[in-house]
Structure 1
Amino acid sequence: MVTAQGSQRLLELARSRAPGDRERLLLGVVELCAAGGAPDAVAAPAVQGLLSSIFMSLVVEAERDIRRRLAERLATAPWAPPALINVLALDEIEIARPVIEKSPVLKDHDLVRLLVEATIEHQIEVARRPQLSGVVVAAILRQAEPAVLTALAGNATADLNDEDMRQLVAAARKVAALRTPLSRHPRLTADLAMQLYVWVGQSLRNSLVDRFRLDGAALDQAIADSLREAHAGAPVDAEGLVIVAREGEREEMEHKLIDKLHAAGQLRPGYLVRALREGRLSLFATALARLGRFEPRHIRQALDCDRPELLALACASVGIDRSVFPTILTMVRQLNAGRPGGGAEGARRAASAFGPSPPQAAAVAFRQAARMAS
């Protein structure tokens, strides 16, 4: 129940134009609605229209911190105006995250719209949303964005059917980041586990064998036989697996590939994204070093440190757009055990690398920072 004193205080705040008072008014209206004790009354169309008008007029002028606090307060509110919740869901990711994760106001069509209109970070949060419906799952699978598929694979509560799981397992052939979450997914079947077995490392193979009682020796032999036939007598290692290329040979092959692409004028910034989407982190590093004329060890250093701004400088120097870098950083972290570190704060620092300065300045800054960090 709202007291007369409380109502008078809100009226005084409404007349004020001071930023602090506008924040107090915004949060005061939230408290008023939350303490109303009559959800049906708050949900009435006339009241919803009034609330939407009040909130939207205040949010337009609100500072970032106020919008963040508002998103946290409204994330679980069933009475929140849909227009306001959708605006907050499209705000920068730190503001949008609690709303995308929890808001009961967001419906399937709102989530699908986020998948189409919002950034990769927003799409990842949609894929992580608890109890995700089949409609939204289908939209994620249609877009087939690797980072979003990986988030979906890690969402054990999403409504995934057998066909959805089959598509994710098929995608794991090229998207290495999918393999670990899929191997642990509760809806993974024995048949799909046998398909996944071909593409995962030994530790995950052991896990799949234990979980589904697979005949690991027989599977290894079948894989070896198939590869031996495909590679016409290529050498086999002690475990019976065909050796297509050892580490040094693989690196040499990647260098030759990059050299050929560069000589033909086909090595462009877009190739970096393609390499990551195929799960080939070392190929990405080789291509980035060649494009920027950087020392490979400096690129490797940028990938493994806790300063993602170094990687951002390298990417900015070769023409990667600011809007694309968050996707690159997400995929690199997925393929490189969470590195470069720094979390969300590091990602924000990295954005400063894409300033008004020309690419040449970013290249100089990267070389200087890499030498200092060596």
Structure 2
Amino acid sequence: MSNLSYNNADMAFKSGAANPVLAKLYLTHGIRAEAMNNLPAEDRAGLCDDVTYLIETAGRPSDREMATDILLSLLRHAETHLKQAVAERLSVLDQAPLRLILEFINDDIGVARSVLKNSPVLNDLDLLYIIQSRDSPFWQAIAERQNLGENVVETLVDTKDIETAKVLVENTSVIFSDYALGKIAKLASETDVLNDCLINRSQTARGDFARKIYEYAGDALKQLIAENCGSLSKEVSRKLDEVLMEFTEPTPHHFMPSASMIKAAELFMEQGKINKTLMLNTLKRGQIASFIALFSKFTGLPVAVVIAMLQQKNGRSLAIASKANDLDKTDFLMIFNFTRKIMGEDYLSASHVGATLAYYDRITPDVAKRLMNRSKV
């Protein structure tokens, strides 16, 4: 503390008498703006530290209120970094004065973020008001809170803000209602920004989350096509159902692509459209069976060999196929990581990934091509 000691403050609180420390601070500095303006920055920082401590340890509401008046006056003339420090300190305090918390929220997001994310003083009604009155950076901070209420989640989703939706999906404590899932699915159908976090969330939720998202997206897609194109032919309807099923149904353990997936891959190959961008985007959407069909045509390897290759935990066969087909290290690593996630593999350690990349670096294109030729039948 600055010129006060914690021991003296504690003794004043325990005596049961009027708090002399607070009384002196109030009389000396009080809530007079001119007194705050004349304080050097170092003294103001010390006083903020003193008064924040008194708020944290005050045993009586009257003492806490007096300290709050003093701190509010100090903060109105404080530098941003000092406000941030006090906000972070009070953001985890169960009995932090609501007036102080609201003062932080009315400041810039740099000051408000910690209380928006953590303060137990804010209830759902407070959060709903903040969502209505502030903008995306404030919504994102609220979306990081643990155990958000259903109304708050739905209101955040209703903002249609992609970055806020991304934070919500990444927050594994958030429970989405059917209404919120439908809204998230609509956003996911309009942008690729949510792809990675949807896949990551699906792993922690054992796949249920992503499947529900795509169920909603699938229904919306069918409705949109029907509204704009009239009735679908049986062939188009069957292909659409097959694509949606790949998203929504639990994937078979062997990840075998269907005949139509293989036919589609053949057509892409004939048209020269199979490239790393197409394959990686297919993986990012979680379409592992379609990726296997594409990768089979891209490498010239049988589907069964590709499946066995992707199930190999050390990634060496995939490294050989990547090197032989001019996929660089970044492409190889992305395919390796995405297939591990989609197949439900446990977390890969840095040493595991490092060993896999080292193998990719060691093998030459010529050796990789010779090994590949042995696998083609």
TM-score by length of 2: 0.49
Which structure has the larger Rg? Answer: 2
